[in-house]
Structure 1
Amino acid sequence: MPPQVAEDVPKEKMTPMNLHNDPPKGSPSETDTEQQPALENHTRGPPPPPDGGLFAWLQVAAGFVLFFNTWGLVSAFSAFQTYYESGELFDASSADISWIGSIQCFLLQLTGVVAGPIFDRGYLRLLIITGSFMIVFGHMMLSLCTEYWQALLAQAFCVGIGAGLLFVPTVSLIPTWFSTRIGLAIGIASSGSSLGGVIYPIVLYRLISRIGFPWAVRCIGFIALATFMVPLAALRMRVRVPKPRAIVDWSAFRDAPFMLFTLGVLVCFIGQTALLFYISFYPADRGFTDTSLAFYTAAIFNAGSILGRILPNALSDRIGVFNTIAPFTMLLGVTMLCLLGVHNAAGMIIEAAVTGFFSGVVVALPPVCFRVLTENKSMIGTRIGQGFAIGGLGLLAGGAGAGAILGTVDPLHWTGLWVYGGVTACAAGLIYVCVRVMKSGFVLNIKT
């Protein structure tokens, strides 16, 4: 009698359908197949930006306020430098005083290494709350300072870190809401730093003589506290990263155009810091203006940069961001060298307005450039934070180097200072030209 083999084998394995058509264990089932479109939409990337609308422009308005209280405070440091130089609060050399501003600027950029990935993980509101608190708290502590090291901790470290927690999320968020008008959007938002650079020096100067330095600084803190209500209410994330990523994008170090542009930002910031810190103290020390007009020089400088942040950014949407930033950066270096020919108040006012215009360009356009150089748009937060952290080394070196060149013995070495600033800005412009050539070659009529 033949053995009953068929009875020992499961029936489902005896059918041809199961022998040839059933998927092996662990393969996608019909249910998995039905879920594939949703998964593909999730991994395909974010939907295209709305490029306008109420919520998009609310992000620009909120970004305007954040720039007002981050780069705006940095832009106003020349007024603090001028006051500290008087020795009424503490005695310190120009180089030592410039370390306060340099560290503040550097931490604004360096903190982006941490703030960028945190933003990518969706913790926007945590960054806004923490950064806002640190800026307000830092100014309240600065109002109590009577020694150099105290001002260094309060203004350089506390305010600098707080500003860094706000800056990178701002320039990372706005590009996710705009496409064709991204340059204009970031230009309008970044003009908030220019307005801050106009208002804060005037507030400081007008109030110091009336209520003293402590309450003048507290008023700055209260202004920041009130205006921070706008981004807390309006900022919204449109795109969330599907999974956490590393704090550093190591592939960026193999991206030659990205790294070369980052080097250009670093070199440019060296020259710009010299201008930013000493545009107000220069005419006062040389006797071109009285103390009052010297404080207002900082306001004139930042008023000029309002147009410098909006008009060239709008132009970049038409002719290309690298076609815009390269020539304007070189023009910044040339106008800084022209400061050597200034000998009166009228010339100083014109120079403050012109250099302010070109200075606005080199602050407003780099975020757009970083976006263009980032192929994976979901890595914008990490890439911008990483790029600005490296570029921030220029801010750290620029102020301290400028103070060392200036010296401590009268007459101060202003010629060396402006040559230092002008040459580095021109060099940065040439680096941007190289990046442009790497992207599009030597053809001039290409939008790059």
Structure 2
Amino acid sequence: MNESLTGLLVLGGFLLLNAILKMAYAALINTHKARLKEMAEEGHTRASNALSLATNATRLLASQQLTDLVLRFAIAVVAAVILTPPLRDWLIDQDISARLASWLAYGGVLLMTAVLTLILGEMVPSNIGVGHADTIALWLAGPINALSHLLAPALQAAQWISGQIAAPFVGRSNGTTVTEEEIMLLVDAGSEGGAIEDEEKEMIYSIFQFGDTLVREVMVPRIDMVSLDINTPLSEAVDIIVKAGHSRIPVYEESIDHIRGLLYAKDLLALWHTGDTNRPLRELLRPAHFVPESKKAGDLLTDLQQRKIHLAIVIDEYGGTAGLVTIEDLIEEIVGEIRDEYDINEEEDYQQVNENEYIVDAGLDLDDLNRLLDTELSTEESDTLGGYIFSRLGNVPTVGEQIEAEGLRLEVLSLNDRRLRKIRVTRIAPAAEPEDSRE
């Protein structure tokens, strides 16, 4: 009786130890590393231990696998030694042959042990570890750290042996390639679980999309550019710069397609302060940086940073001026709209009237509209909503003119000369298929 009780206590001890270790590993994997880093920098020893383990996934995983193997083997052996004999004797008493009773006893004990280990030693402690990750990680990081150091020789030997065996099949690669899609899935999972805020998710998505964005999708088009003729008097140039609120303005000669340089507001202010207001603009110009509209936005941002300039003139395939782009325009593609005191009166890109209706600026990027409405308007021929309507109609639209596409009705609300300004976008039911098309 005493031996049986001792055996049961040993078995329970192994199960408890397995549960504690599983809970600790789950907590370390799911803990908030940024919070641990802050605490470690403040001098918390437990946080330092937890951070060391949490950021070393290979070491943590190897330690977990080895302890799992040892404990599961120990649990199975102890359970077989303690529980199999009485179960076998009971089966024999039920008129079952000794050979069959032995097999049934061993099988039953192993099955029972597997279920108990799965529920009490895996699932329950893992759920507890995830639910209280930070607290448990701080309390159990010390023992886990000591255990991993104790197991280090065995772990290194096992890793070396497994590496030698696997080398002919997987080569000698030192790393694993993680695809953009896999990162997106992790971000989505983190967002659904609450670990990643919606704003953070959008920023991560924007960073990936930024690499494929062309300058022409980001630039201020030439029709919206504030620019100066090179013969503009200094006093008039000051008024235009003050009204526009820009620190740099392109200066052209004869036409906007012949940009001669950039006028800096600070250069004008310096002259204005000294009273030297009769100098021609030509003498104040700084060199302009020209880029093709097909250049990638990410490459341009790097280019501007290296050159330490804030604005570039965008040219089309014929060498004419297509628009301009600033560092602020590029950064806004990642972090969203940046508004300063000069942007207060700027209109929003869209206004939601009701669940199915929006008033949209014709200059809104089609990719942004597709994300907003979960549609798939084609971006092959146009970058903006206004350009899309032009390409679909094939003529200059008039107020009230409508088109339907991708379950949307697009109605022209206002124009400025020949330029579209506001569009009413309404969700509609998919158009019914004509009778003759079904025959």
Point out the structure with the larger strand share: 2
Q: Which has the higher helix share?
A: 1
Q: Which TM bucket (shorter chain)?
A: under 0.3
Rg larger in 1 or in 2? 2
TM-score, structure 2 length as denominator?
Answer: 0.26
For normalisation by structure 1, the TM-score amounts to 0.25
